[in-house]
């Protein structure tokens, strides 16, 4: 059975281009970004400023849709990592190019949400915003595979972050 859905943009991501970075390459999600919500939806933001974090769902508009599962590959092209299917990764190339991020909400300025930790390019269409509910979203008993914990530890070392056991 095949269903098609219509969704609409409610806002857009605005962020500075990272120094030395370019679209499609790594950028620092720790840089502040602004989510500009369309005025017609601004009243729907009332109360969002009381949350420390929000859930942002966005459309990966510059990514081609994945048409097949394709072959297994190492996450982020790390040759030492175990090869897995794309559903086990955060690759933006997906059957439905939808992105999800839970950035810290720094502040609200009318219909603008200033956030830190948003993993989306400048100009990315936002399709929904929700308050982050730790009781519902956080899973203290969740585990990740060893290959992912090792990849995270490698990233932490590269970025000079203190080691955290995952």
Residue numbers in the chain where pLDDT is lower than 50:
20-21, 24
Closest residue by Cα to residue 128 from 55, 63, 60: 55
Could you tell me the pTM of the whole model?
0.82
CA–CA distance, 78 with 75 (Å, rounded to integer): 6
State the pairing for strand pair 54-59/32-37.
unpaired
CATH-assigned architecture of domain 11-133+142-159: Beta Barrel (2.40)
Query: Do residues 59 and 94 make contact, with C-beta atoms less than 8 angstroms apart?
Result: no
Q: What is the pLDDT of residue 85?
A: 85
Q: What is the pLDDT of residue 116?
A: 95
State the pairing for strand pair 32-37/11-14.
antiparallel
Q: Where are the domains of the chain?
A: 11-133+142-159
């Amino acid at each position: 059975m095949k269903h098609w859905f219509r969704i609409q943009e409610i806002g857009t991501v605005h962020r500075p281009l990272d120094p030395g970075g370019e679209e499609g390459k790594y950028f620092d999600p720790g840089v502040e970004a602004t989510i500009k919500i369309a005025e017609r939806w601004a009243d729907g933001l009332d109360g969002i400023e009381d949350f420390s974090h929000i859930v942002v769902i966005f459309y990966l508009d510059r990514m081609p849709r994945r048409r097949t599962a394709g072959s297994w590959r190492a996450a982020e092209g790390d040759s030492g990592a175990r090869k897995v299917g794309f559903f086990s990764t955060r690759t933006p190339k997906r059957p439905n190019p939808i992105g999800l991020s839970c950035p810290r909400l720094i502040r609200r300025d009318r219909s603008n949400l200033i956030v830190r930790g948003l993993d989306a390019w400048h100009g990315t269409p936002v399709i929904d915003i929700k308050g982050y509910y730790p009781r519902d979203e956080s899973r203290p008993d969740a585990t990740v595979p060893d290959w992912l914990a090792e990849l995270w530890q490698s990233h932490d070392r590269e970025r000079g972050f203190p080691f955290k056991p995952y």
